[in-house]
Amino acid sequence: MELGFMACGISKAEFLEEEAPRLEKWLSENRNGEMKYMENYFDKRLDPRILFEGCKSVISVLVNYFPSETQQDPEAPKLSKYAYGEDYHFVIKRKLNELLLFIQSEIGEVEGRIFVDSAPVMDKAWAKKSGLGWIGKNSNLITNKSGSFFFIGELMLDAELQYDTAIGDYCGTCTRCLDACPTGAIIQPYVVDGSKCISYFTIELKDAIPVPMKGQFDNWMFGCDICQEVCPWNRFSKPHTEAAFLPHPDLLEMTKQQWKNISKETFDILFKKSAVKRTKFKGLKRNIDFLE
Whether residue 37 has pLDDT greater than 60: no
- Which residues is 79 bridged to in the sheet? 222
**Of all residues in the chain, what percent carry a pLDDT higher than 70?**
94
Task: Give the global pTM.
Answer: 0.92
Query: Contact, 129 vs 11, CB < 8 A?
Result: yes
Whether 43 sits among the annotated catalytic residues: the reply is no
Task: Give the residue from 191, 177, 182 showing the smallest Cα distance to 212.
Answer: 182
HEC per residue, 18-64:
CHHHHHHHHHHCCCCCCCHHHHCCHHHHHCHHHHCCCCCEEEEEEEE
Whether residue 36 has pLDDT greater than 60: no
**Per the domain annotation, does 79 fall within a domain?**
yes
* Average of per-residue pLDDT values in the chain: 93
Classify 125 in phi/psi space as left (phi over 0), alpha (psi -120 to 50) or beta.
Answer: alpha
User: DSSP E strands: which ranges in 112-271?
Assistant: 112-115, 134-135, 141-142, 150-157, 186-188, 191-192, 220-222
pLDDT at 35: 59
Higher pLDDT, 94 or 34: 94
Helix H or strand E encompassing 74: none
Query: Contact, 75 vs 256, CB < 8 A?
Result: yes
**Per the domain annotation, does 137 fall within a domain?**
yes
Dist CA 27 CA 43 (whole Å):
14
**Structural domain containing residue 13:** 7-291
- When pLDDT is averaged across residues 45-56 and rounded to a whole number, the result is 92
Among candidate residues 47, 73, 117, 164, the one labeled active-site is 117
Q: How far is the CA of 42 from the CAs of 23, 27, 52, 68, 148, in angstroms?
A: 9, 10, 14, 39, 26
Tens digit of each residue's pLDDT (9 = 90 or more) over 177-235:
999 999 999 999 999 998 899 999 999 899 999 999 999 999 999 999 999 999 999 99
HEC per residue, 98-158:
HHHHHHHHHHCCCCEEEECCCCCCCHHHHHHHCCCCEECCCCCEEECCCECCEEEEEEEEC
**Per the domain annotation, does 237 fall within a domain?**
yes
**Per the domain annotation, does 40 fall within a domain?**
yes
**Per the domain annotation, does 284 fall within a domain?**
yes
User: What is the radius of gyration, based on Cα positions, of the chain?
Assistant: 19
**Per the domain annotation, does 1 fall within a domain?**
no
Query: Contact, 134 vs 169, CB < 8 A?
Result: yes
Give the rounded distance of the alpha carbon of 21 from its chain centre. 22
Tens digit of each residue's pLDDT (9 = 90 or more) over 1-32:
999 999 999 999 999 888 876 777 766 776 65
Query: Contact, 171 vs 135, CB < 8 A?
Result: no
**Per the domain annotation, does 2 fall within a domain?**
no
**Per the domain annotation, does 63 fall within a domain?**
yes
- When pLDDT is averaged across residues 44-49 and rounded to a whole number, the result is 88
Number of domains in the chain: 1
Dist CA 288 CA 137 (whole Å):
29
